[in-house]
Amino acid sequence: MSRHIPLALLAVPLVALAAPLAAQEQVVPNAEDTIDELRACRAIDDADARLACYDREVGKVITATEEGTLQVVDKADVEETKRGLFGFTLPKIKLFGGDDGDELTELETTITSVRRDGREAWVFTTKEGSVWRIAETKLGWRPPQEGQTVVLKKAAMGSFFIRVNGQIGVKGRRIE
């Protein structure tokens, strides 16, 4: 005697297996899409439909920020990050100023610590936590001291002109 299993009973386990797969395929929102979806809500004429759209889209934003898939940062945070990363080659993404006109090419900051590194070399740390090395100095150049102002300016081939306390610039590079 053959036994037939009704199709309805097979569908239940398949649906149970498919639910976790559907959850894994959920699209993670990106900032541009999120803003575009909110803009689309603004264009809806009917007030109830517009409010429903805003509720839905803002809910997605809140969920994404809680899950860590979308991060909201302000301009001050971006500038602080750019200052801390100054001297490193950064990827060309919008967060770090993907447009050439937005790139940080000079940084004025304060020296927080100094040590000698060899006979003529100096290593100093800035308030942002970056560590710089000056390997060659010029005659009459005075060594850096804690609390002095330093101006770091991009030069050729990954080097930088470093001007300590208003003195003439010397070449150096970021080491940490």
Closest to 106 measured CA to CA, from 127, 86, 123: 86
CB 98 within 8 Å of CB 143? no
Burial state string for 24-52 with b = 16 or more CB within 10 A and e = fewer than 16: eeeeebeeeebeebeeebeeeeeeeeeee
What is the distance between the alpha carbons of residues 162 and 174, in angstroms, rounded to a whole number? 10
Choice between 87 and 150, residue whose per-residue pLDDT is larger: 150
CB 31 within 8 Å of CB 65? no
List pLDDT tens digits, range 23-52.
Answer: 444 555 677 888 888 899 999 999 999 999
Instruction: State pTM to two decimals.
Output: 0.57
Q: Which of 3-17, 59-73, 78-92, 157-171 has the lowest mean pLDDT?
A: 3-17
CB 153 within 8 Å of CB 163? yes
List pLDDT tens digits, range 146-158.
Answer: 999 999 998 888 8
Residue 104: how many other CB atoms lie within 10 Å:
16
Residue 111: burial class (beta carbons within 10 Å; 0-12, 13-18, 19+): buried
Share the mean pLDDT of the chain: 78
3-state secondary structure of 16: helix
The reported pLDDT for the residue numbered 21 is 43
Residue 92: how many other CB atoms lie within 10 Å:
11
What is the distance between the alpha carbons of residues 118 and 134, in angstroms, rounded to a whole number? 11
